[in-house]
A and B are shown apart, each in its own frame.
Chain A
Amino acid sequence: MGRVIFHRSFVVGLLGLILVLLVSLPLYHPSTYVLVLLTAIFMYIVLTLSWVIFSGPTGYISLASAAFFGVGIYTSAVFGKVISLPLVIGIGALASFFLALLVGALTLRLRGIYFSIFTFGLVVLIQQLLLWWEVVKMHTRGRFVIVVNNTTIYYVMLIILVVLMFTTYLIRRSKYGLALQSIGEDEEAAAHSGINTTVLKTITFAISAFFTGAAGSIMATRWTYIDPYIAFNPLFSFLPVLMAIFGGIGHLFGPVLGATIFGYLEEVLITKFPYYYMLIFGTILVIAILYLPGGLVGLMQKWQKGDLAGQHGNS
């Protein structure tokens, strides 16, 4: 027991230390590169963790991340010049939230693979409709986004990340998280034991979209120019899935680890070797699915257990 408590307080302390370092980082005048890199990593963690909130416990593989991300981006592009930044992010997050409520309500009957296809269709449907609207009706393509300085973007993304991690932690610990887990195990049984599966799924899906939308609204300000292809890039639907699976869905730190590694790799590799980066990406995805069912965290836990078993064997 003592070891477990030590373990937990150690983790909390470590997290607090990391948080203090990250919050105070801009005071040391780091280079733009460091700030931008960290912001990108935070963004990937937010996208991955939001995906895991819903798809992790329920087992429904959502490919709608890019749709919610894009809604956030477009909100920022449309309202960024008229209203203040916090309000823009709030609207972006809420717009994604309500879109997810609508989609959730529509797709309740779909299970397994059909849900995935539907959510992916959503990304391209919005992308194509927007493109048509801009090109045919407005005779323009794309929009300029108001620029915000890098430190502000960094802090906003950090705040979204911290709130998201705290939310994820609370959900996992609560009765509500247990109910979600039981939907993933056996949806029929969950429904029979009195869980309103439809409402629960829809709300969780919307919460996950809320954070993705918020991340989109702030990231848009870094890109200065966006169009439907940039904002609704299907890659933002695939990347969170890969990062989560690679890191491990079963534990809160799995997605964080996966997103950090891939976020860093991308920044380092994509400008120099774009094709090889994507090639590595695909290869790791296949290997992770074949050989790492629990992801990196699962692998670590296995090692730890192996060690413990070894100790028991000795004693």
Chain B
Amino acid sequence: MGMTVLNVVISGLLMGGIYALIAMGLSLQYGVGRVFNISHGEFIMVGAFFTWALFSAFGVNPLVSLVIVGPVTFIIGFVLYRTIFSRLRIKSPSPAAFEGSSMLAAFGILFIIQNIVLAIWGANIRGYTYLATGVNFGGAVFAANRLVTLSFAIMIGLAFYIFLARTRLGKAIRAAAQDPVTAGLMGININLVLALCFGFGALMAGLAGTLVSMCYSVDATMGLGYTIIAIIVVVLGGLGSIPGSFFGGFILGLIGSIVTYIEPGLSLAAYYGIFMLLLIVRPAGILGR
């Protein structure tokens, strides 16, 4: 019994690390920028595909790919914000109208990115083997790549938290999240900050994609599932709360691993069930303001 509990908890934490990273990215985009980015998962997919392509074509170590995938997804995100979302933000009569139209634009981006990848790499499921050796963890055995994934997810998450808490740009982002108009009056270039936030969100998704590809197979339609998980975690952790998203990710990972242990076929249904219940009972989230 003790063994199974340990097993369930550890695999929950391993999954939770990735969820946390993905959710932090979406939290930046939605919590600060008010862009309800349905295409968030596509950046994960792009990150995963890049890593796979670099590994299988040139034998690039996936950990090295982190340094390549990060800037690429950041630039894609930044440019998308500058060309599409900032224009929508200026044109929208109200914040609610912006949320609606940005969500629909993100749907369009979802289809564009997904089908570009499909046109280049096709619909096959891809994968590669990296650090697949087993590691004994107090009696429970886990693949080494999952432990690497978890430690990198925690490191990236912490690094980002420190960036937000300690740097001037981080302070500007937090100010923009609290009150964009006043932040603008205080001399913060709000358009630039929001575009940077969107870029950073895409970057976190891209890095998560690289980490995902180390443990799981990769295909062009994998994005939406992760987007949904990110949405659930962001709502669970409270909109706009970066630490909330971080811990919410681990909580959802644990819930998922418990449900998978009891009834494997129902894990996704359980996520949605919990999420819909949460929306009805407590729309502000568990750790929300």
**A contacts, CB < 8 Å to B:** 59, 61, 106-107, 109-114, 116-118, 121-122, 124-125, 128-129, 131-132, 135-136, 234, 238, 241-242, 245, 275-276, 278-279, 281-286, 289-290, 293
Pair count A-B, CB < 8 A: 112
Q: Interface code B99-136, partner A: CB below 8 Å = 1, 0 otherwise?
A: 11101110111111011101100000000000000000
Chain B residues within 8 Å of chain A by Cβ, number: 39
* Contact of A289 with B101 at beta-carbon distance under 8 Å, contacts A121-B275, A238-B107 already known: yes
Q: Interface code B230-241, partner A: CB below 8 Å = 1, 0 otherwise?
A: 010001000000
* Contact of A118 with B276 at beta-carbon distance under 8 Å, contacts A112-B99, A128-B269, A283-B108 already known: yes
A residues near B112, Cβ cutoff 8 Å = 279, 282-283, 286
Q: Of A111, A245, A276, which is within 8 A of B119 by CB?
A: A276
Q: Are A132 and B266 in contact (CB under 8 A)?
A: yes
- List 15 A-B residue pairs with CB atoms under 8 Å apart, sorted by A's residue number: A109-B280, A113-B103, A117-B279, A118-B276, A121-B275, A125-B269, A131-B265, A132-B265, A275-B118, A279-B111, A279-B115, A281-B111, A282-B112, A286-B108, A286-B109
Q: Of B103, B224, B265, B273, which is within 8 A of A116 by CB?
A: B103
Distance from B256 Cβ to chain A, minimum over Cβ atoms (Å): 13
Residue of B nearest to A283 (CB): B112
Residue of B nearest to A122 (CB): B276
Q: Are B100 and A112 in contact (CB under 8 A)?
A: yes
Q: Are A59 and B100 in contact (CB under 8 A)?
A: yes
Q: Are A61 and B103 in contact (CB under 8 A)?
A: yes
Given A113-B99, A114-B279, A125-B276, 12 other A-B residues pairs in contact with their CB atoms under 8 A = A59-B100, A61-B104, A111-B96, A113-B103, A116-B36, A125-B269, A128-B268, A278-B115, A279-B111, A283-B112, A286-B112, A290-B88
Q: Are A113 and B108 in contact (CB under 8 A)?
A: no
Given the complex of chains A and B, what is the CA–CA distance between A283 and B113 in angstroms? 10
B140 CB within 8 Å of chain A: no
Given the complex of chains A and B, what is the CA–CA distance between A289 and B91 in angstroms? 11
B168 CB within 8 Å of chain A: no
B84 CB within 8 Å of chain A: yes
Given the complex of chains A and B, what is the CA–CA distance between A112 and B100 in angstroms? 7
B residues near A245, Cβ cutoff 8 Å = 104
Given the complex of chains A and B, what is the CA–CA distance between A134 and B249 in angstroms? 30
Q: Are A114 and B115 in contact (CB under 8 A)?
A: no
Distance from A70 Cβ to chain B, minimum over Cβ atoms (Å): 15
In chain B between 262 and 278, which residues have their CB closer than 8 angstroms to a CB of chain A?
263, 265-266, 268-269, 272-273, 275-276
Interface centre among B105, B108, B265 (most CB of A within 10 A): B108
Q: Are A290 and B105 in contact (CB under 8 A)?
A: yes
Q: Are B84 and A112 in contact (CB under 8 A)?
A: no
Interface centre among A116, A122, A285 (most CB of B within 10 A): A285
Query: Interface of chain B, helix or strand or loop or mixed?
Result: helix
Given the complex of chains A and B, what is the CA–CA distance between A132 and B273 in angstroms? 14
Q: Are A112 and B96 in contact (CB under 8 A)?
A: yes
A residues near B269, Cβ cutoff 8 Å = 125, 128-129, 132
Q: Are B109 and A282 in contact (CB under 8 A)?
A: yes
Q: Of A109, A112, A241, A282, which is within 8 A of B115 by CB?
A: A282
B residues near A122, Cβ cutoff 8 Å = 276
Given the complex of chains A and B, what is the CA–CA distance between A290 and B104 in angstroms? 10
Interface centre among A111, A136, A275, A284 (most CB of B within 10 A): A275
B289 CB within 8 Å of chain A: no
Given the complex of chains A and B, what is the CA–CA distance between A129 and B272 in angstroms? 10
Distance from A219 Cβ to chain B, minimum over Cβ atoms (Å): 22
In chain B between 209 and 254, which residues have their CB closer than 8 angstroms to a CB of chain A?
224, 228, 231, 235
Q: Are B111 and A278 in contact (CB under 8 A)?
A: yes
B residues near A128, Cβ cutoff 8 Å = 266, 268-269, 272
Top 3 nearest A-B pairs (CB, nearest first) are A282-B111, A285-B108, A286-B108
Q: Are A124 and B268 in contact (CB under 8 A)?
A: yes
A residues near B265, Cβ cutoff 8 Å = 131-132, 135-136
* Contact of A285 with B115 at beta-carbon distance under 8 Å, contacts A117-B279, A131-B265 already known: no
A residues near B116, Cβ cutoff 8 Å = 279
* Contact of A109 with B36 at beta-carbon distance under 8 Å, contacts A125-B272, A132-B266, A275-B118 already known: no
Q: Of A110, A129, A278, A286, which is within 8 A of B105 by CB?
A: A286
Q: Are B88 and A289 in contact (CB under 8 A)?
A: yes
* Contact of A278 with B283 at beta-carbon distance under 8 Å, contacts A125-B276, A285-B104, A285-B107 already known: no
Interface centre among B119, B228, B279 (most CB of A within 10 A): B279
